[in-house]
Every structure is written in C-alpha cells, then in structure tokens.
Amino acid sequence: MTAMSLDEAILGRRSVRGFLPTPVPKALMRKVFNLAQWSPSGTNVQPWRVCVASGAVRDRLRTEFLRRVSEGIPAKQDHKDKGRLGEPYKQRRRDCARVLYDAMGIEWEDKAGRSRASLRNFELFDAPHVAFFCMQDIFGGQSAADVGMYTQTLMLAMTAHGLASCAQGTMGHYPDLVRETFGLEDDMTVLYGLSFGYEDPATPANNARTSRADLAESVQFMGGEIDYASNDK
C-alpha cells in the first residue's frame, strides 16, 4: 500500500455510510487502534475506554438497536447537548443533511425517505465492526475532549490504512445495551460510536461531500507582524 501523507489522510477522511461485509483483518485492526493509543490527553490520564463489536456480537447489537427504534423506545443518552442549536450551526446541519439526501435521491419533503435514511445509523450502515467510546462518569468536558482526540487519531489511522469509518452520536442512544453487552461497570458512560470497515463504492450515500467553513469563521489570530487574514503565502 502506498504511504499516505498526513495532509492526504486529513483531507481524505470522510463519513462513509455504506460498507462491504468484508471484515478487517485482526492484525490491521490492532495496528490502527495501537496508533490511536498515542493520542494526547490531559496529564496523560487516557480516559478513553473503547469497546469493539464484530461478528455475532455486532449482529446482536444491530438487531437490538433496530428493535428498540422500531418499537419507539426513547433514547436515554448518558451525555447530551445543553440546548438547541443556533446559527450558524443549525444551517450547517441543514446543509449537511441536504448533501446526503441529494446523494441518496431523497427529496427534502419525503419524510418517509428521510426516516429510512436515519434508520441506516442503527443498521450500522452494514459495517462489519462498530466501536463504542466510553469514559467513567467522574470525567467531565476536558476528558470528553481527550476521547474526541483519540477518535480523530483513530479515524486518520484508519484512512491512512485503507479503511473507512463513520462517527455516530446515535450509538450513544442506548448506553445500557452497550454496558450490558461488554460487561461494563455502571459508572462507565457511553459517548458515541464508530462504524468502520471497507467502503462500498456502490452505495449512493457515499457520493455525498460536505464543505467546511472559511478559516476566518472559526479561527482568530492576534499579535505578531504577519497579516494572517491575507492570502499571502
């Protein structure tokens, strides 16, 4: 496999919503997760606890997720956003949804189609593997950020080694199921999940491409003699 630069991995990583059934070889799986272990964390506490489901365990989780959703069992996340999104975040979410629905051929007014697209989350997008990212409930926002850095490192490692992934907040909807499946302690909370494997290029949703806000919308530079707002190199 041709070596991939960091720039290529960052720009090449994207959320894939359709996977081949081909399992990831154990040696490769251990390699990318070992790379993620070198992620930074405050005072090196490494608060992450990651649970990976494959094979029959993955199948049982998928079946139970779909049962709960189909029966309308309410989600009961361990961690939630603090309030409703305002702008510009709300518009960015809408734009992302439109890009995805357009790739899938779903009209915005097609509520049934949008519902089916949402259900794909709980089908794990047919990925052969799913990882759940957890931390003990003694940890707060700083450690949650550490888990996020771990996840980004893992996704970049996967991209660099030919694997695809999709981070999913929906995998935190039923944390009791995750704790029960993996025999976790009651104080182990579930943040979110990551479906991963090999991309299925025939899946229409995988043609979706999102954009990013201009640097000036997110980053403020002050001090020094360089005019960072200019286009000068």
- 46-66: average pLDDT: 98
**CA–CA gap between residue 147 and residue 142 (Å, rounded):** 9
**H or E element: which one contains 166?**
strand 164-168
pLDDT tier, 233 (very low <50, low <70, confident <90, very high otherwise) = very low
CB count in 10 Å sphere of residue 232: 7
pLDDT digits (tens, 9 = 90+) for 7-36: 999 999 999 999 999 999 999 999 999 999
Q: Which CATH number fits domain 6-80+122-210: 2.30.40.10, 3.40.109.10, 3.40.50.2300, 3.30.1330.10?
A: 3.40.109.10
pLDDT value, residue 165: 98
List the domain boundaries for the chain. Answer: 6-80+122-210
51 φ, ψ to 5°? -120, 125
Taking 3-state DSSP, the helix, strand and coil percentages for the chain, each rounded to the nearest 5, stand at: 45, 15, 40
pTM for this prediction: 0.92
Query: CB–CB of 103/14 below 8 Å?
Result: no
Average pLDDT in the chain:
94
Contact between 154 and 130 under an 8 Å Cβ cutoff? The reply is no
Which pair of tokens denotes residue 22?
Answer: 């081909």
pLDDT at 64 over 90: yes
**Residue 94 has which token pair?**
């809408």
Task: Please give the distance of CA 95 from its chain centroid, rounded to a whole number.
Answer: 18
Reported as a single tens digit per residue, the pLDDT across 89-137 is 999 999 999 999 999 999 989 999 999 999 999 999 999 999 999 999 9
Please check the confidence at residue 231 and state whether its pLDDT lies above 60. Answer: no
Encoded tokens for 12: 């090449």
